[in-house]
Amino acid sequence: MKLLLHTCCAPCSAAIIEYLLQRDIRPVLFYYNPNIFPFEEYELRKSELTRYAASLGLEVIDGDYAHNQWLNAVTGMENEPERGKRCSACFRHRLSVAAKLASERGFDTIATTLASSRWKNIDQIAEAGQEAVAPYPNLAFWNKNWRKEGLSERRNILLKANGFYNQTYCGCEFSKQ
Query: By CB under 6 A, what part of segment 91-150 binds ligand SF4?
Result: none
Site string for ligand SF4, 69-88 (x = CB under 6 A): -------------x---xx-
Total number of residues binding ligand SF4 (CB under 6 A)? 10
CB atoms within 10 A of CB 154: 17
Query: Which of 69/138 has CB closer to ligand SF4?
Result: 69
**Which of 73, 76, 56, 63 lies closest to 10 in space, CA to CA?**
56
Of residues 58 and 89, the one with the C-beta less far from ligand SF4:
89
Q: What one-character DSSP code corresponds to residue 111?
A: E
Interface pattern 19-38 for ligand SF4 (x via CB under 6 A): ----------------x---
**At 23, which amino acid appears?**
R
Nearer to ligand SF4, 30 or 107 (CB): 30
Q: What is the DSSP letter of 75?
A: T
Min CB(134)–ligand SF4 separation in Å: 21
Give me the 158-177 binding string for ligand SF4, x by CB under 6 A, dash otherwise: ------------xxx-xx--
The H-or-E segment that residue 3 falls in is strand 3-6
Burial 16-31 (b: 16+ CB within 10 A, else e): bbbbbeeeebebbbbb
